[in-house]
Structure formats: C-alpha cells, structure tokens
Amino acid sequence: MELNEYRCDKCDKLLCKGCLTDKDNMLEVKCRNCHNIQFFQGPDAEIIRKRAVLINQGLIPDTDK
C-alpha cells in the first residue's frame, strides 16, 4: 500500500504519512513548525472503492499483488 504525504498548507512541512481509505475518514494534525492545525479527509475513497469492485469482477487486473 502506498502512503500519501500530508503537508502543512502554511510552511509545507511534512506532517505525517498515511492512507485515508474512506471519504468520511478525517485526520487533524497540528504542525510542530508553525502551529497551524490541518484537517485532512479521504478524497480518493470513492475511487478506491470502485477500483476494488472492478478487480473483484475481473474487469481490471490487481496490480497490488
């Protein structure tokens, strides 16, 4: 699984790496550098879900194996 980088909007410091898999997932992180509070949501959740359905139906190959 590939991890996404989540960076501060103000100072571009790397805050964390992770994978938000559902569009309702939310992450709140406070930047240690500038003290800005960032909120991240899983925007790609619908794409991930549709891809899994297509793999299960055998319509596209599973490239993660």
| pLDDT tens readout for residues 33-47 | 999 998 888 876 566
Query: For position 30, what pLDDT does the model report?
Result: 94
pLDDT in tens, 20-34: 887 788 889 999 999
Report which secondary-structure segment, H or E, holds 17: strand 14-18
The torsion region of residue 46 among left (phi > 0), alpha (psi -120 to 50) and beta comes to: alpha
What pTM, to 2 d.p., does this model score? 0.62
Residue 32 DSSP class: T
Query: For position 64, what pLDDT does the model report?
Result: 64
pLDDT of residue 65 exceeding 60: no
